Amino acid sequence: MAAFIILCMIVLAVLFIALWFSAIVSVIKSDFENDNYKILWILLLFIFPLVSSIVYFAIREQITIGPEYSEFA
Q: What is the pLDDT of residue 73?
A: 44
Q: Determine what percent of the chain is predicted with pLDDT higher than 70.
A: 89
User: With 80 as the cut, is the pLDDT of residue 66 above it?
Assistant: no
Q: Where are the domains of the chain?
A: 17-73
pTM given for the model:
0.81
Residue type, 41: W
- Alpha-carbon span 55 to 50, nearest angstrom: 9
The neighbouring-strand residues paired with 61 are none
- Give 21-54 pLDDT, tens digit per residue: 999 999 999 888 888 999 999 999 999 999 999 9
